[in-house]
Structure 1
């Protein structure tokens, strides 16, 4: 029989991190440890439990049947232990919490700098891991506690999550200043005459060009424009939409537009910032385009932890400051 005194809590934390991240490198980043420390901890745990636990595969580390069995007990037990130790108090001045936030590169460049400044000022020992919104299954990451907050454009939301609005914005068509469509009437014929840059907010394959995608009951934005809607508008006039490029990073778009005759549908505040840094202009869409809302998503249960409550409040304040300045 294996003795419990041979297993310390840190080994369990490493086990859960490797299980969820499917790799030593990502687990090390999440726990702020070296890869060597993770590997050493795994070796100790393997020796203690008498099982290989993880097998290296082409896409990461795969748990053995024994590891999957242990996960059913280890994961909820670890959450309960951490919750009991944390209690109801959170002291940002002394906390070494590692916050995990998922969002787009645009928000990383606008709202997040103020958030990180707040964390450095108020919680100097805490850290923040920023994960790309486009690469994650948000519902899975929130459900298993690997993600504290996601920031983006969300629609229908399962009841186990809390969606809190941060700010709203309009959208505009961005192009270079000397573009043929930059002056004069801007209508559907202009939209059909020039190729569009499509900006994906999710890397998940979406066949029909819809503007949203559903993951585990959560509706989230898939692309900045609504290709199917625009194609319908153009089709009614006998026109055809042209896709000139597809990118996953909105911050790359201004340079692409400055060098070509392509146009892109982007948030208005992004268009204004881009116009200040490059020789670009924007035009209002020649069709009804309601504003969209940037929201913060957290798990109803795990998001109520005092540390996550503090993070959510800090994000609210950073978003408010950003919105005041634009």
Structure 2
């Protein structure tokens, strides 16, 4: 590839298509026609000498080469934007789209106050929320597929802390919670102290994005040489709340999420009969966004939206394998 003759506008098109995974949406984002986007992609493909995308049912799928190239292109474009337009972000004037990744429980409680902030400021901001189905969002953040991940990522955060300034990722604690045992009102175990024997003998529901039939609770039980029977594994906290409210299954949820299930009046919380670590909700983003004023504005609003309100705190999810 001859960089001297490369049309840098092609990088903007490539970035938009990689972000949207759809030519029509990318064209709308760039205020171009779809044929113009297709033509730009063809020219970029010819310039780099590698295939970039393959067609899919609902859009396009990047090739491994494109996936490897995109973070570098995105970082370069962000640096150019910051250098050429260093002015402060004006939410009333600047239309910006952000991609957030979080679990359903987190979104249910975090988004209403976040939208309240955006509406109150009459900000020209669009949010695209992507379901977070992994325990470790670092790859998503590094590749630029999302702007901010919000949730409980203990292993990832521990590694970032150990790496210190060497890491390209940044994080900020938003809130914290604890796990509790949840059951329907009127459950035989709803009254009195929940003992370890009773907990282990009961039937359980596990929330697991990975589909694995074990989680943190099972690790805690294993340390005590105990086990439990998991009858049902689901991948949504809302589903867990509904099923538990209508059955004799027990589940373990962040205490801050129970109110967000919509079934709080039908559920009973009990302290777990074994020690469990507290859950810390973190925001994670890439350092390339550190000095971008629009991203700084978003992170400030996330902090505001995460502040405790009467009866509500941010659910410490994901990391649902509990």
TM-score, normalized by length of structure 2?
0.78
CA distance in structure 2 between the aligned counterparts of 1:245 and 1:39, rounded to whole angstroms: 48
Offset at residue 290 of structure 1 (A): 3.8
Structure 1 stretch displaced more, 271-280 or 151-160: 271-280
Unpaired runs of 5+ in structure 2?
314-322
Does the Cα contact within 8 Å between 1:138 and 1:150 map onto a contact in 2? yes
- Whether the aligned pair in 2 keeps the contact of 1:55 and 1:64 (CA below 8 Å) is no
Structure 1 counterpart of 2:42, from 43, 46, 53: 46
The 1:129–1:54 alpha-carbon spacing in structure 2 relative to 1, beyond 3 Å, is: same
How far apart, in 2, do the equivalents of 1:270 and 1:68 lie?
Answer: 35
Residue aligning to 1:141: 140
| Cα RMSD after superposing both structures | 3.6
Partner of 2:278: 291
Shift in Å, 1:276: 5.8
Q: Cα–Cα, structure 1 residues 138 and 259, in superposed 2: closer, same or farther, change >3 Å?
A: same
Displacement of 1:124 in angstroms is: 2.7
Secondary structure, counterpart of 2:133 in structure 1: helix
Whole-angstrom CA distance in 2 between matches of 1:20 and 1:147:
8
Other-structure match for 2:205: 197
Give, in whole Å, the separation in 1 of the partners of 2:305 and 2:68.
Answer: 42
Distance 2:5 2:267 in 1: 65
Aligned-partner Cα distance in 2 for 1:48–1:110: 42
Partner SS for 2:231: strand
Distance 1:54 1:96, change over 3 A: same
Query: After superposition, what is the alpha-carbon deviation per residue over 1:76-128, rounded to whole angstroms, capped at 9, x for unaligned?
Result: 44233222233152111111111121111111111211112212332532111
1:172 is paired with a residue whose SS is strand
Evaluate the alpha carbon distance shift between residue 228 and residue 100 of structure 1 in structure 2; reply closer, same or farther with a 3 A threshold: same
**Could you report, residue by residue, the CA deviation over 1:260-282 in whole angstroms, capped at 9, with x for unpaired residues?**
11011111122355586442211
In structure 2, the partner of 1:260 is 247
Alpha-carbon distance, 1:253 to partner: 1.3
Q: What whole-Å deviation, never above 9, does each CA across 1:234-278 have from its counterpart, x for those lacking one?
A: 52xxxx410111111111112101221101111112235558644
| CA pair 117-303 structure 1, distance change in 2 beyond 3 A | same
- CA deviation after TM superposition for structure 1 residue 322, in Å: 3.6
Whether 1:28 aligns to 2:19 is no
The structural deviation recorded for 1:186 is 1.3
Q: Is the 8 A contact 1:195 1:262 kept in 2?
A: yes
Aligned to 1:244: 231
Distance of 1:324 and 1:185 partners within structure 2:
24
How many angstroms apart in 2 are the aligned matches of 1:149 and 1:302? 10
Structure 1 counterpart of 2:80: 81
- Corresponding residue number in structure 1 for 2:268: 281
Q: 1:182 aligns with which of 182, 187, 190?
A: 190
Matched, 1:302 2:280: no
> Aligned runs of 1:70-219 on 2, under 5 Å?
74-135=73-134, 138-155=137-154, 156-158=158-160, 159=164, 160=167, 161-200=169-208, 202-203=209-210, 209-211=214-216
Aligned residue pairs total 300
TM-score normalised by L of structure 1: 0.77
Flag the 1:261–1:170 CA change in 2: closer, same or farther, 3 A: same
Q: Distance in 2 between matches of 1:258 and 1:44?
A: 54
8 Å contact from structure 2 (residues 75, 288) kept in 1: no
